[in-house]
Structure 1
Amino acid sequence: MLARAIGFLTTWILVRHLTPDEYGIFSILDMVAGVSAGLITTGFNWSMVKSVASHRKDPATAWHIAGTVLKIEVIYGLILALGLYLGADFLSKNLFHKPELLFYLRLCSIGVLGNILFTYRNAIFQAFMKFRLNAVFTAGHSLCYLGIIILFLMMDQFSIRAISIVYVSLPLIISIIAIVLLRDGFKKARKERLSAFLSSMGSNYGWLLCYTLCLWFSGQFHMIILSRYFPMQEIGLYGFAYKIYGLSLMLMNAINSVLLPTFSGITENSALRKSFKKTLKGTAVVSVCLLVSIPFLGFFISVFAGERYSGACIMLQILIFGAAISTLLSPPVNILFALDKFKLIAIGGLIFVAINAAGQLTVTPVFGGLGAASIQVASHLVLCLWVTYHSFKLIGIKK
């Protein structure tokens, strides 16, 4: 929560000192570095959290699983970083149709590795239920970034290039420090008895990969379509609205970080059902608060970002409505993961990405950021309803 509050303050400083065009560049950097990193690793991290939760009584095996996943993700990150660096010129001219993005796409080669280690760090803290340590590092990361931005402003060195370099470098540095601090745990690892984990990865990871590919595609596609058909100012307005949307999901993300290891440790349906209902009441309260805030978002933007970003108002209202629904229906997907229903999750992902792609191709080129926001919300709503229906059915909740 503290990290999100700091992130909110940081976003305020950025939009106060960056034009919508400059914030558009920053949004594309954020999207490429963040979403590309999660293409393969999200499934590995989910599997690691679940497997470690089931091996809590055998720390040696649990730490060996965590170490194996780290090695795989680092190798993947290095390959992806090299590919992005070498292909930056092609991507800037032929994919985004914005040659001025060349420098920033090359920066993403650092950013993807940093984001991979950042998400791994969150996952390993989550897996071993080190929530306090995770909170310290997450808040520390946000504070460092905010402090550096303020320092740039005081020294009159603030620029889109300077903050972009810090933005991609800081997660890498802080995550390496966090992982080094866990070295005593990795030393406990026993280098055998991974057959159950590897066989689980073999049977389930294909479905997980399918689901994460769907999330990856939808996370990239809306920005790619916008960059091909609209000027950087439109991308900046949409990027600002999408950033606030991401910050509005802070409670949902905090809840999810606890739910997966918690649900994975419950074996009885009655206990799972009781825990699920209790969580759903909490997410309902947060959702109502988000819905109530929608009429006041125009005033919020004028105070928070100024008139330059007033064009983002309707986009943000649409996205906050989506955030309210996503928050309300966030617990069910953790039920499916806990019960190993990866095929159901993958099918939901395929339905989601089909709707998302069709909408972004037909609606976004006409309506710009408004269309992109509407399609993102509508397709996520379909996915949420899919996983909710099957979760209710599996744990015996009557509709």
Structure 2
Amino acid sequence: MLLRLLYFLKRPTSRHVLINTFGNYLNVFFYAFFAWILVRILTPSEYGVLSVLLGIAYVLATILDFGTTATIYSYLPPLLEKNDQSIYRFIKSTFYYQSLFSFIIIGTLFLTFPYLDKVFFKTNAPELWLYMTAFSVLFFIWQNFVLNILFAAKKFLKANIYLNTTNVIKTIVILILMMTKATTVGAVIFVFGIMGPVIFFLLLTIEKKDLLFVLLKSEVKREEFRFGYTLKYFIASQFLNLGLRMDLFLLSHFRPKNEVGFYGLAQKIILSIMTTIISITQVLSPGFSKISSQPDARSHLKIGFLYLLIPSALFFSLLFVPKQLYDLVFTEVFSLTSPITRALAIPYIIYSLSNLPLLFILYTIKKPSYILVAYVVFFIILTGGCYILIPKLGAFGPPYAITLAMAVQFLILGAASVREYRRLPKVTKY
């Protein structure tokens, strides 16, 4: 048993998972530290404006991914393995079309942001801050694109070094602004949204400047963008992302704000463990994109299952965390967070394991239509369930709806995976 555990830990995949998980949690720590500093510098109203503007930037950067993350993980690893000369054409074409579509949306935001802020967001922020926010979306998109390229190429250590070196520099700049009493919402947006990504690109360029020139010389081809594949997954992911927020939105609509606060804190505990799932799937994705037979699939599915047991075990452990520990960390004012967290842990065990058929469908068989169906059903069940249960059960209603939605989604993805697995060749071709 001990020898098996040692062998498991010595695997390159285990090393990548440890590096990426540590790097992701270090990134989470920096953002928590930034929040800890900023709430001591800015007034509540200023921090509210900052939260809204950066929130807009982060959400738009996620939406304007346009599904290219899945395209990169699906198609880049096989090209890298074959050392195919079309690698650079694929990267440049994907980057070009994502940037082109993003420019259109961000350009529209540039023109309408002052009006939208006046009638909807109502931050009353100066126009310069609004324009910096819109501009920062593009930098976030580009930074995420480069990170996905590095992850798909299994450069996890370098990616996390670049990212967290940038975080260290941002921390130093924020501390200098604090000491010189020059901290404003606009200055913070500039540091996070523009300066940070620029430093990230500079660190990358210093080491990879030769590859930059090769990319610049590469041609752009529309077929490299995989528009059909990208669009289907993009739409599917929006149903998932919106579905995962509908519980909080509907709770806010039906229940008192203190109940929303208890539930929101429980959600943050769940989201902190979901960082582990992200770290693991980022490492596993390149391997799934190279599966070509049933034996290959069995090997990767077995390995993936073992790694996804880690976040599943973390969610399971939440069922046994004593209430006293929650009270110690969050104070007795948030005592209801404990039972809500336990209730939410159950559906997220299912969510953790559902990533296994998701990886197989998305990166091995490359049929996001299955995922689109699963996520639409997930959204309908979760939204409908929360709408019915929240007025009756309050903050304890959503866990029931989420559990049912997660289970049905898992069954759809699992059934699709079994069907497509049987169509794979039974023998690996060398």
TM-score (norm 2): 0.73
Structure 1 counterpart SS, 2:165: helix
Rg comparison, structure with higher value: 2
1:355 to 381, 398, 405: 381
Give the 3 Å change call, closer, same or farther, for CA 299–327 of structure 1 in structure 2.
farther
Per-residue deviation, 1:196:
5.8
The answer to whether 1:2 aligns with 2:22 is yes
Could you tell me which residue of structure 2 aligns to residue 343 of structure 1?
369
2:147 corresponding residue in structure 1: 122
Match of 2:122 among 94, 99, 107: 99
Aligned match for 1:83, one of 85, 104, 108: 108
Moved more, 289-298 or 340-349: 289-298
Partner of 2:56: 32
**Per-residue deviation at 1:219?**
5.5
Tell me the matched-pair count. Answer: 393
Question: For residues 252 and 304 of structure 2, what CA distance do their matches in structure 1 show?
Answer: 39
Counterpart-to-counterpart distance in 2, 1:374 and 1:107: 42
In 1, the alpha carbon distance for the partners of 2:294 and 2:185 equals 52
**Would the aligned equivalents of 2:49 and 2:125 in 1 still touch at CA under 8 Å?**
no
Q: Distance in 1 between matches of 2:118 and 2:252?
A: 11
Give me the whole-angstrom Cα distance separating, in 1, the residues matched to 2:233 and 2:391.
31
Larger RCO of the pair (alpha carbons < 8 Å, separation 6+): 1
* Alignment equivalent of 2:318, drawn from 293, 300, 319: 293
Give the letter for the 2:122 counterpart.
P
The more displaced of 177-186 and 54-63 is 177-186
Higher alpha-carbon deviation: 183-192 or 10-19: 10-19
- The range that moved more, 126-135 or 262-271, is 126-135
Shift of 1:131: 2.0
Q: What do residues 292-329 of structure 1 show as CA deviations (whole Å, max 9, x unaligned)?
A: 13442754544445456556444544444444332233
Correspondence list, 1:91-170, <5 A: 91=116, 99-100=122-123, 108-146=133-171, 166-169=191-194
Q: State how far apart, in whole Å, the 2-side matches of 1:68 and 1:139 are.
A: 28
Q: What is residue 52 of structure 1 aligned with on the other side? A: 76
In the alignment, which of 257, 275, 287 is matched to residue 250 of structure 1?
A: 275
Query: Does the residue aligned with 1:330 lie in a helix, a strand or coil?
Result: helix
* Residue 85 (structure 1) shift: 4.6
Q: Provide Cα deviations, 1:5-39, integer angstroms capped at 9, x if missing partner.
A: 334544654369759x8787776556533332222
SS in 2 for 1:340: coil
Equivalent residues of 2:77, 2:290 under 8 A apart: yes
Kindly state the Cα deviation for residue 335 of structure 1 after the two structures are TM-superposed. 0.4
Q: Cα deviation per residue 1:93-137 (whole Å; 9 max; x = unaligned)? A: 766xx6348678766424432331232122111232222211212
Output the CA distance in 1 between the equivalents of 2:189 and 2:394.
Answer: 25
Spell out, residue by residue over 1:223-262, the C-alpha distance to the aligned partner (whole angstroms, 9 max, x if none). Answer: 6656767788776665544443332122211111122211
- Identify the range of structure 1 (107-116 vs 355-364) with the bigger mean alpha-carbon deviation: 355-364
SS in structure 1 of the partner of residue 292 of structure 2: coil
1:188 aligns with 2:217: no
**What is the TM-score of this pair, normalised by structure 1?**
0.78
1:45-79 superposed Cα distances (whole Å, 9 cap, x missing partner)? 21123222222224431111111222222233333
SS across alignment from 2:154: coil
What's the counterpart of residue 388 of structure 1?
A: 414
Which stretches in structure 2 are left out of the alignment for 5+ residues?
1-20, 424-430
Contact kept, 8 Å, 1:35 with 1:220, in 2: the verdict is no
Match of 1:279 in 2: 304
Segment drifting more, 168-177 vs 23-32? 23-32
* Structure 1 pair 42–351 and aligned structure 2 pair: CA distance change class (3 A): same
- Residues 25 and 274 from structure 1, CA distance in 2 versus in 1: closer, same or farther, beyond 3 angstroms? farther
Q: What SS does structure 2 have at the residue aligned with 1:41? A: coil
Aligned counterparts of 2:38 and 2:419: Cα–Cα separation in 1: 50
